[in-house]
A and B are shown apart, each in its own frame.
Chain A
Amino acid sequence: MNTLTPDIVYKLLASVTDPEVPALTVLDLGIVRNVEVSEKGNAPSVKITITPTYSGCPAMDVISMNMRMALLSHGIKQINIESQLTPAWTTDWMSEEGKQKLKAYGIAPPYRKAADTLGLFEEDAITCPRCGSQETELVSQFGATSCKALYKCLSCHEPFEHFKCH
C-alpha cells in the first residue's frame, strides 16, 4: 500500500455527498476543515475535522458515517472525525464549483457574502435557476431542510429552492 497522504483522503472524501442535497460533495459544501494523517501501530490513522452547517442538521450524522465508510472501503481503519463549531460554517465556504452544481440541480445557490448580513426585513434578489429571471418571490424562509428557503419564479411560474446565505 502506498503511503497515505491528506491528498488521497481528500480524493476519497470527494465521493461523499450530502444526503439532503446529493448534487454536493462534502468538499463542495466546505464542511471539511482539516485532514491529518499519522501512523499508529504501523497503520495509517486519519483525523478529519468538520464544521456542521446548521446546529440541528440531521444530515451531519449520516455524512460522518458516509465519510467513515468511504475511508474504510479503502482499507483505512483508524478514523477519527471531530466536529468543530468555531469559526461557524458559512455559505462563503461553499466552492464555486459547488454553487454551479447547485444551480444545475435546480437550487438557487447562495450568492451574497454571508458576512454582510441583511436587516430584519431586507430580502435577497434571487435569480430563478430554471429560466434566469430575477422576478422571483419568497414563499417561505424555511424549506424542506434547514439550509433552504422556498421561492417562486414570477416569470416561468416554477417553484424553486434557494440555498440560504448563512
Chain B
Amino acid sequence: MEGNPNNEIPNTKMKNALLNYTLSLADNASVMSHRLGEWCGHGPVLEQDIALTNISLDDIGQARSLYQYAAEQLNNMPTTEKTNLFSDMMLNAKIAAGENLDEDDLAYLRDAWDYRSLLLVEQPNKDWAYTIARSFYYDAFMQLFYKGLQNSKDDRLKGIAEKSLKEVTYHLRWSSEWIIRLGDGTDESHQKIQTAINDLWMYTGEMFKMTDTDKAMAVAGIGVDLAGLHKDWLNNIKNIFTQATLQLPTDIWMQDGGKEGHHSEHLGYILADMQFLQRTYPGLDW
C-alpha cells in the first residue's frame, strides 16, 4: 500500500477482508463443532462418543480464538465503518451504542446470511458414514490449510494455525482410519460410506474456491492460496480411498455459496438451536 496517496480506501477494504476471513474460519470451526457435538451421548460406542466430543471441543477452541480476534478487529474499527457490516438488529444495536463486542456476540448474534462457513460443515450428521465422510473431507482440507496459514504475515492467524494444526492432525488420523475401516469392512459399511462420500462430494469444491476475500488475503500474504491446495488434497484423499477400496466420486457440478452467506436451510436450524438462549435471554451467563 506504500505510495498510495489515498490510504483510507484500501485500508478499509483490507480491514474488512481480514475480518471476513477471520469470521469465515471461525464459522467453519463453530458449525463443525456444533454438528459433531450433536453426537454427544449418541456415539456408537463410548470411545467414539468421546472422540467426537474431543474433536468438537478442539473446534470450539479454534472458533473461540478466531471469534476473539474478529471481535478485537471490530472493536478497533470506528463506528461508522461497522454500522452496515451485519444484518442482525441486536448486534447492530450494540455496535451503534458503541459497545465492545466479544466472541459470544459474533457466534450468537449473527444471522445465517452473515455466516461465512462452508456448505460442507452444515450438512446433517445423517448416519455414521455421513459424519465420517464430512469430517474426512474437512480434516484433509484443514490440515493443508493450517500448514499454509502458518506462514501468514498476520501474527494472530499464524499463532492460531500453529496450534490448530497439531489438533487437526489427530482429527485427520481419526477420520482417515474410519474411512478405511468402513470402506474395507463389511458389504454394508462399504456401501454406506461410498454413498456418503459420493453425496458430499458436491460440497468439496467450495473449499478451494477463492472468493474476493480469499484473493485479497492471499495477495497480502495473510491468507492461503486455496486453489493451490487442491492437488495435494486430492492426492491425500485418493490414497486413503484406495486403502479403503472406495471409488473416488466422479466429477460433478460443485455447489458453493456458503462462504458468501448463501446457505442451505440446515444452517438456520443449527443457529436456531445454538442461538436460542442468547436471543431469548440476552447476555445470560452461567
A interface, CB within 8 angstroms of B: 52, 54-58, 85-89, 114, 117, 120-121, 139-144, 146, 150, 164, 166
Contact A56 B50 (CB under 8 A): no
Chain A hits for B163, CB < 8 A: 52, 55, 85-86, 88-89
Known: A85-B160, A86-B158, A139-B47. A146 touches B57 (CB 8 A): yes
Residues of A within 8 Å of B159, CB to CB, are 85-86, 88
B100 at the interface (CB under 8 A from A): no
B64 touches A56 (CB 8 A): yes
A118, B139: Cα distance in complex, Å: 17
B residues near A, CB below 8 A?
47-48, 50-51, 54-55, 57-62, 64-65, 155-156, 158-160, 162-164, 166-167, 169-170, 172-174, 176-177
For residue A118, give the distance in angstroms from its CB to the closest CB of chain B: 9
* A141 and B61 contacting across the interface, CB-CB below 8 Å: no
Q: Which residues of chain A are within 8 angstroms of B170 by Cβ–Cβ distance? A: 141-142, 164
Partner of B173, one of A54, A87, A114, A120: A120
CB pairs A–B below 8 angstroms (10 shown): A55-B62, A56-B61, A57-B57, A85-B159, A86-B155, A88-B163, A117-B169, A121-B177, A142-B174, A164-B170
In the bound complex, what is the Cα–Cα distance between A125 and B136 (angstroms)?
A: 26
In the complex, A117→B54 CA distance in Å?
A: 20
Nearest-CB residue, chain A, relative to B164: A55
Determine whether the beta carbon of B173 is less than 8 Å from that of A121: yes
Do the beta carbons of B61 and A85 come within 8 Å of each other?
no
Determine whether the beta carbon of B54 is less than 8 Å from that of A146.
Answer: yes
Nearest to A60 among chain B residues (CB) is B61
B172 proximity list for chain A (CB < 8 A) = 120
Q: A88-B159, A141-B170 are in contact. Are A55 and B58 (CB under 8 A)?
A: yes
A residues near B48, Cβ cutoff 8 Å: 140
- In angstroms, how far is the closest chain B Cβ from the Cβ of A59? 11
| Contact status A87-B162, CB under 8 Å | yes
Q: In the bound complex, do residue B51 and residue A55 qualify as a contact, i.e. CB atoms below 8 Å apart?
A: no
| Known A54-B61, A142-B54, A146-B57; further 15 A-B contacts with Cβ < 8 A | A54-B57, A56-B57, A58-B57, A85-B159, A85-B162, A86-B158, A114-B166, A120-B172, A141-B174, A142-B51, A142-B55, A142-B174, A146-B58, A164-B170, A166-B166
